[in-house]
A and B are shown apart, each in its own frame.
Chain A
């Protein structure tokens, strides 16, 4: 049930763009994105809802393809502060009502000057 993220790791130069994908084998109601820096707690980025509504970040965008059961996170003009491990958390339709998020395998993003 754990969503699969790709790529597992990516290294970018400051100012370059990145796309992180999250794919589920099960139907999703929502996708939640978090970033975790080494040794720190995960921090919320945004939520994407079935039906297209988004809640979250000003400088990071994302999409949610319900039919393909996947979400993509777009980081444009990356900054050094974007470095960290990105996790998607999925709310499965089969788990509807129980508030449980299943987090993905993670994508480690490293931004170099």
Chain B
């Protein structure tokens, strides 16, 4: 069975440009998470979807970051007016119904990530 996939695997852009990062979760997983990981650091939570709705977007750094999941499967992370500090690996993960107590303690399956470099 297919795992979580992310496209593109690498994205190089110039400061000020707009980028979209795509995540295809495991089929049937209702929970989807976006993380950002800088070199030598753990994944940093950005946003969590349950179905189509963003249940927790408290990790989005500012209003340049936005994510959608319109049909409850594929999700897109959108970054406007990119800055050099946005450079990182963006990870997506999905879980059957959720990873905490409310979701039933299911594991998160991570995708391979998108390496974003802002020049």
Contact = CB atoms under 8 A, between A and B. Distances in A.
The DSSP consensus for interface residues of chain B is loop
Contact of B102 (A44, A97, A101, A102): A97
B55 interface: yes
Given A40-B112, A44-B108, A97-B101, A2 B50 contact: no
Contacts of A87: 42-43
Interface residues of A, number: 27
A84 B40 CA distance: 12
A96 B105 CA distance: 12
Contacts of B111: 41
Given A87-B42, A105-B41, A99 B98 contact: yes
B101 A29 contact: yes
Interface in A13-41: 29-30, 32, 34, 40-41
Contact of B41 (A30, A97, A101, A106): A106
Interface of B: 4, 31, 33, 35, 40-45, 48, 50, 55-56, 58-59, 91, 98-103, 105, 107-113
